[in-house]
Structure 1
Amino acid sequence: MTPLGPPIAAELRPFLPEIAAERPFMDGPEGVGKLRAAMAEFEESVDAVAAETGAHIAELRVDGVPVIVITPADLEGRVGAVLNVHGGGLVAGSHRSVLGANARTAIELECVMVLPDYRLAPEHPYPAGLDDVETVWEWLRTGGAGRGVDVDRIVVMGGSAGGCLSAGLLVRLTGKGGQLPRALVLVQPQLDDRNVHPSTFELEHAYFWDRPSNLYSWSVYLAGTDIVPAEAAPARAHDLSGFPPTFIEIGQVDIFRDEGLEFAARLSHAGVPVEAHMWAGAFHGFDGLIEASVSRRAVAARREFLRDQLNARG
């Protein structure tokens, strides 16, 4: 019998589809195509966002990886940067997704925002996407974004699948003794390919991301991998010591809830400073619904952490 799980917050219910989900959100190659089309609707024009916000938005390639760099107008002195990795179940999305929101965040925080467009599964399984994120990280930390960026004040951030790649990057970097970012921000992260936590069963057929979709996502991302390394599925990491200060945002009605909570606890056990927020009644992707107070509070908490880390010295 499937557990009932926690209820969706009353203020978020009006945003749900009128018809409850009766099938997986993503069910094979056809579902990947539908998800890509759906997420493409959230892509925004670079020129339009630049005109609207006044920010300088550059498109470039870093060793073959497409990158968008957002620089607010009239920045003075050296500023911090955010390497922001988009979500999309490891199979969809792009660096143009919610471009306007990213530009406005960069302006509010007075930082440079760097958005990589990593390769997607199933065409490009692990380690392609992670390699692309590392390529852009190495470029950024070695001054690729210009002298206006303080390379000692870089935060790595990722939402959903981007959280998987961001945490995976930290597993890779700590494992080989590489330079680390100032902080890590994980937004409703996808971390565990094993799908064994209770929250993955509570939402067998969710309105948005669900268990069957998650199983398929991991299967195509890890295709050809006999032994799953921790950098591919960060929840498998045995030792999280050495991670920088980490912020984790968790929705209570999200299949990723329990793996996020466990990851936060394991970071704490390893001596890592952790700030974790679980938002009552919130489903996956709720933070984009700015009309809801819980979404505004979640985004405000995330931005406050980012501001503190970007402005930290020493």
Structure 2
Amino acid sequence: MKKDTIRPELRRAVLKAPRLPFALRPLLGFSRFIFNIATKKKPVAGVYLDCVTYQGVEIRIFTPGNVSCDGAIIWFHGGGHIAGRPNQLDKTASQTARRLGVKIIVPQYRLAPEYPFPADLDDAYTAWQWLLQNASDLNIDSNRIAIVGNSAGGGLAAALAQKIYDIGSQQPAAQVLFYPMLDDRTAANKQLDADNHFLWNNKANRVAWNAYLAPNQCGANALPDYAAPARRQNLNGLPKTWIGVGSIDLFYDECVEYAARLKAQQVDCELFTVEGAPHVFEVLAPEERVTQNFVTSATNFLFTVLSESGEAIDSHAPVAQSLCN
């Protein structure tokens, strides 16, 4: 993929970012180690971080000093199902918690290939159950919990929403999916290898999916339920959805298609696309206006879903916002 496909204000940051060798399976351990170090962030001031462990799942709880809403967000980190830790969301989750005045829950989940599917979904559902069971003690209204995820965490969030719907228990108020990793069939399409997408290309994608599912199962005729959320036929009844993705992200087509299918099956879905933006562009260039608009769109969606007023947030407003009247 040529550098002039990147929108100008993002180009320098994207080209400066290192490409880790996730496409080389023997170097997976090295790639994971560097990725985990490079993505570790610190929480912002004004937010209290607590940690609990429930049935082996570590759960990070971000509580802002200006907490003003009894809703909550449960947020899953990215890393292709093969890398990443919850602390990579410390800055983003604490900023969002402080901005909205809402508690945010970030669970750890097991990674492939040591723990292939459905280990991560089991952990995600365990964290969801913990949140529901402890909602009253946390002063959280269980009717106002949104599920959020980035990249593989977005795919995990989508899978969790599907599983919760099928089980028929307390449903999430919404799902927010940042450039979610939804469809193994993208990885199976070797014609995409030549495009060599920025930051996460299809060769790395195929290594990740085959580690997550099982060797050579990427693109198989059939997969277990929830393993690849885009494969689900019946999407009716899923929660209100926001999906955001850049036009030169490897996952662009699968995200656009999933959004279209949600809408076609009467799910309220907002799709936010950014021309010339690659994978995780908002992490690489957080100060750019295009990034602020992208993040504000997702934040406004959460605000509208979780608040009673439904008033939008200005992208240049102070971070200490009250979510509820």
Q: Same fold (TM over 0.5)?
A: yes
| Residue of 300, 311, 314 corresponding to 2:307 | 311
Counterparts of 1:29 and 1:197, CA distance in 2: 20
For 2:124, the equivalent position in structure 1 comes to 133
Give structure 2 stretches of 5+ with no counterpart.
310-325
- The residue type equivalent to 1:42 in the other structure is T
Q: Are residues 32 and 208 of structure 1, via their aligned partners in 2, closer, same or farther at CA, if it must alter by over 3 Å? A: farther
Q: Which amino acid in 1 is paired with 2:41? A: E
Q: Give the drift of 1:156.
A: 0.2
- SS of equivalent residue, structure 1 residue 308: helix
Aligned residues between the structures:
304
Preserved CA contact (<8 Å) 1:229 1:236: no
Q: Percent identity?
A: 33
Residue 85 of structure 2 is matched in structure 1 by 94
Does structure 1 residue 253 correspond to structure 2 residue 248?
yes
Q: What residue in structure 2 maps to residue 12 of structure 1?
A: 10
- C-alpha deviation, 1:12, in angstroms: 0.8
Tell me which amino acid in the other structure corresponds to 2:107.
P
**Matched residue type, 2:27:** E
The equivalent residue for 1:210 is 201
CA deviation after TM superposition for structure 1 residue 175, in Å: 2.2
Q: 1:191, CA displacement in angstroms?
A: 0.2
Distance of 1:86 and 1:167 partners within structure 2? 13
CA contact (8 A) 1:200 1:211 kept: no
From 21, 28, 31, the equivalent of 2:28 is 31
Matched-pair contact (CA < 8 Å) for 1:200–1:256 = no
Q: Distance in 1 between matches of 2:191 and 2:167?
A: 32
Aligned to 1:64: 56
CA apart distance, 1:109? 0.7
Q: Per the alignment, do residues 145 and 107 of structure 1 end up closer, same or farther by CA in structure 2, a change over 3 Å counting?
A: farther
* CA separation of 1:280 and 1:98: change in aligned 2, threshold 3 A: same
Q: Say if 2:70 is the partner of 1:75.
A: no
Q: Give the equivalent residue in structure 2 for 1:182.
A: 173
Contact 1:24 1:210 in 2 (8 A): no
**Against the structure 1 CA distance between its residues 203 and 277, is the aligned structure 2 distance closer, same or farther, given a 3 Å change threshold?**
farther
Under a length normalisation based on structure 1, what TM-score does the superposition of the two structures give? 0.89
Q: Distance in 1 between the 2:244 and 2:190 partners?
A: 15
Q: Separation in 1 of the partners of 2:269 and 2:307?
A: 18
After TM superposition, give the deviation of residue 104 of structure 1 in Å.
1.2
Write out per-residue CA displacement over residues 12-32 of structure 1, whole angstroms, 9 at most, x where no aligned residue.
1111336997x9643114134
Letter in 2 for 1:125: P
**Does residue 1:243 correspond to 2:238, yes or no?**
yes
Tell me if structure 2 keeps the 8 A contact 1:62–1:139. yes
1:142 aligns with 2:138: no
1:87-126 matches, cutoff 5 A: 87-126=78-117
The alpha-carbon deviation at position 57 of structure 1 amounts to 0.7
TM-score w.r.t. length of structure 2: 0.86
Structure 1: where are the runs of 5+ without partners? none
Instruction: Please give the residue correspondences for 1:263-282 in structure 2 after superposition, counting only pairs within 5 Å.
Output: 263-282=258-277
